[in-house]
Structures are given as C-alpha cells and as structure tokens.
Amino acid sequence: MTDSKKHLGFETRAIREGTMRSSFGEHSEALYLSSSFVFDDAEEAARRFQNIEPGMVYSRFTNPSVQMFEQRLASLEEAEDCVATASGMSAILAVCLGLLKSGDEIVTTGSLFGATIQLFDNFMVKFGLSIKYVDLTKPEEWQAAIGPATKLFYLETPSNPLTQLGDLQAIGAIARNAGVITVVDNCFCTPAIQQPLRFPIDLVLHSATKYIDGQGRVLGGAVAGPKALVDHVRAVVRTCGPSMSAFNAWVLHRSMETLALRMKAHSESALALATWLEQHPSVSRVFYPGLPSHPQHALAMRQQSSGGAIVSFELKANDEVQAQERAFQLVNAVNIFSRTGNLGDTRSIITHPASTTHGRISEEARARAGIRQSLIRLAVGLENIEDLKADLSQGL
C-alpha cells in the first residue's frame, strides 16, 4: 500500500489505488497485452534482469496490468506487498513451494475446499511434506499440534462450505509464539468484510476468481503480506510460471472498484435467506455466521463486518441415501439458481458439495470436514431476494 493513500477509506482505495497511466494519459487503466518489454540499452536490460532497477522485463513476472492489480489488492488487505497467480489453487501451491522444504509440516484443518485437501494429501506429500489435521474451531488443537517440523498453519475462515470460523487472534498468536507462518484463505469474505493481517496473521490468500471478480468471468489468485515472505512466493511464480495473465489482471483490477458495494448487498441477501431457511420445515440446520444461532456468531462479529454471502444448510432425511435423493431433487428443481461449482458471482449458485466440490476426496476426509449428502451450499447473488426464496421454496 502506498504511503500517500494509507489514510483513505476502503472504497476510495478500491478505485484509486494501483493506477498507472501511460504517456497518453488515459483515465481508465490500460490493458498491457505484451509478452515482453524493450530496453533502452544493454546496460538497462542487465539491471532489470538482475533486479537492480525496477521495471518491466517479461510478462511471466512483470506486467503493468498485473502490477496494478497487485497494488490495489495489497492496499485493500493493508499488506506491504502482493503477488498475483493464475488461480487460487496456484497461489496455495506457490506458497508451499516458496516457504517450505522436504521434511516440513503443515498444520491445517479438514474444513477446507476439496481441491485444497487434494493438493495437500495427494501432491504435497510427494515432496516430503507432512500434513496434520486439527479442528478449525479449537485453538488448543492448533497449539497441541505444533512439533519440531511444523512450519505452516493453513486455514480458511469462514470454511467451505460449513462456514466454521477460525479464531484469527488466538491461532495467530499461537503461531507467532512458535515461529510458525500463518496463511489465511480470505476468499469467502474478501478484504471488504475481513482483513486477517490486522490480526497476528502473516499471509492472506485469495482465489480472486470468486468475489474479487464477482461476475464469474476470469481465473486468478493472489498472496499478500510482508514483502519478505511475498518475495519467496514471487520467486516461485517467476521461475515456475503460475502467472496471472494481463487480461485477467485488468478485469480483476476493475472489479475491485465495486467490491465494497457488492459484498454489502451479498451479505444482506444472504442473511435474509438464511433467516428464512432456518424456519423452513424441510430444513434441519442452517450454517451462516451472521445468524445468532451460529455457534461462532460472536466470533464472526468480532473479526468480520458481516456474515458474508455463503449459506449452507442440511435437508431433513432419514438416511444418506434419502438425503442425496432430496438434495438432487432440490438442485434439479430450481430455475433461478445456477447449478455450478463456482461461487462469488452476481448470479446465485446452488451446489451439492458431497458430489461436486468435495466429491473427489476420500469418505474419511468428507467425514472429517462434516460434508454429508444432505448438505446444500448456496452462494447468494444479487437477484431480488423474494425471487430467490420462491425459487428455493418450490424445490423444497
């Protein structure tokens, strides 16, 4: 975040931070579609390649459009630095490759996105990393899990899809005392609702594909935090190439201009829908941090400004077979909700996690994450709330 804009409000920085203008003086930020950049002379080229002089070199690791996105997101997360990646999953991979080595241990939780569990269990272990799972909601388990090899705490809060919360203050303090790096996936909340770096957290990570974009158009990821740590992640992006494209960066950079407005509207509709679902006779339980009935509602209101846009709920059923039948009937019955595995869109989305986003992980991992056949996840969009209730009602 540039010093000159630190005093400005979130909404202002979301529009004004990370702006570069060419000699043409364009008002709307330009899109720089170039694979490489030219130098005035051989000496300048040498300085750029050796990082002696700042400037553009090659779009795998330096591009004006990408840099504008990085600067704007860093400002919103109140981070010293930010590096963009091709997707949220590549951001997680770059963190692991940049900060860990064979023999190190990651402490994490079963309350994770299915692909993240697969990355840890199926791929990171091939490189000699060990993975230890604890309960996201119990700081004492994070404390007890620390051993000589523990180097990284990784958590989502709220979690996907049950909206469990990790106590950022408590877990961060435990990690700091042990010299362990903390990484928080802030995808569900975005910096408009939650800023993990205000707590004793080291790095914040995003699938910018979700609410940072907000319209389901492009893929992107990012890691923000202290420059000393981000530099290790950036080195992986530069050498291994999971880079964000200039076009995607340009789209995401502009999307952040409306982030505060969108997240406020998403959250208001999500709370209204969660409140309605909680009273529905076909629903056994609703998971939403903004509800007073959520077991961690008080914590949510301490570290978030609202409940966010994700509402999950379980359907009443006698067994897992009937639960899947009823879940599929509901998913098939809706006309407004989109049937897709994504989230973070202006369009509301309905997902059956057990057969889609968490369908490829083991039954043991699903049980650890609390993913049952009766579970439905909603990513509440920006449509009329009464239309969304009516759409779900005819399906329920």
Q: What is the DSSP string of 127-145?
A: GT-EEEEE-TT-HHHHHHH
Helix (H) or strand (E) holding 21: none
What's the mean pLDDT when you consider all of the chain?
Answer: 96
Take residue 369 and report the two structure tokens written for it: 């994450």
**Average pLDDT, stretch 38-44?**
96
Cis peptide bond prior to 158, omega within 30° of 0: yes
For residue 357, the model assigns a pLDDT of 82
The dihedral region occupied by 369, where left means phi > 0, alpha psi between -120 and 50, and beta the remainder, is alpha
For residue 7, the model assigns a pLDDT of 83
**Average pLDDT, stretch 10-34?**
95
Q: In the predicted model, is pLDDT for residue 365 greater than 90?
A: no
**Average pLDDT, stretch 54-65?**
96
Q: CA–CA separation, 305 vs 156, rounded Å?
A: 17
SS3 176: helix
Q: What is the pLDDT of residues 173-194, one digit of tens each?
A: 999 999 999 999 999 999 999 9
Model confidence band, residue 277 (pLDDT cutoffs 50, 70, 90):
very high
Between 3 and 300, the higher pLDDT residue: 300
- Per DSSP, helices labelled H in 54-194 are 64-76, 88-99, 114-118, 139-145, 168-178
**Average pLDDT, stretch 127-155?**
98
Phi first, then psi: give them for residue 219, nearest 5 degrees.
-95, 150
Take residue 331 and report the two structure tokens written for it: 């998913």
Q: CA–CA separation, 211 vs 96, rounded Å?
A: 24
Q: In the predicted model, is pLDDT for residue 361 greater than 90?
A: no
Q: Return the exposure string of 92-130: e unless at least 16 CB atoms fall within 10 Å of the residue's CB, then b.
A: bbbbbbbbbeeebbbbbbbbbbbbbbbbbeeebeeeebb
For residue 341, the model assigns a pLDDT of 87
**Average pLDDT, stretch 13-36?**
94
Domains for the chain: give ranges and CATH numbers: 3-258 (3.40.640.10), 259-395 (3.90.1150.10)
For residue 76, the model assigns a pLDDT of 98
For residue 373, the model assigns a pLDDT of 94
**Average pLDDT, stretch 46-69?**
95
Q: In the predicted model, is pLDDT for residue 42 greater than 80?
A: yes
Model confidence band, residue 52 (pLDDT cutoffs 50, 70, 90):
very high
Q: What is the pLDDT of residues 204-259, one digit of tens each?
A: 999 999 999 999 999 999 999 999 999 999 999 999 999 999 999 999 999 999 99
Residue with tokens 């609410």: 211
Please report, rounded to a whole number, the percentage of residues in the chain having pLDDT higher than 70. 99
Q: In the predicted model, is pLDDT for residue 5 greater than 90?
A: no
Query: Nearest-CA neighbor of 290 among 306, 303, 272?
Result: 306
Between 157 and 6, the higher pLDDT residue: 157
Q: What is the pLDDT of residues 64-73, one digit of tens each?
A: 999 999 999 9
Q: In the predicted model, is pLDDT for residue 351 greater than 80?
A: yes
For residue 4, the model assigns a pLDDT of 58
The dihedral region occupied by 216, where left means phi > 0, alpha psi between -120 and 50, and beta the remainder, is left
SS3 389: helix
Sign of CA pseudo-dihedral 8, 12, 14, 17: negative
End-to-end CA distance of the chain: 47
Model confidence band, residue 3 (pLDDT cutoffs 50, 70, 90):
low
Q: CA–CA separation, 45 vs 56, rounded Å?
A: 10
**Average pLDDT, stretch 92-106?**
98
CB under 8 Å to 369, separation ≥6 — which residues? 110, 111, 112, 117, 162, 358, 361
For residue 363, the model assigns a pLDDT of 80
Q: In the predicted model, is pLDDT for residue 2 greater than 70?
A: no
Q: In the predicted model, is pLDDT for residue 41 greater than 90?
A: yes
Cis peptide bond prior to 191, omega within 30° of 0: no
Q: In the predicted model, is pLDDT for residue 1 greater than 60?
A: no
CB under 8 Å to 43, separation ≥6 — which residues? none
Model confidence band, residue 360 (pLDDT cutoffs 50, 70, 90):
confident
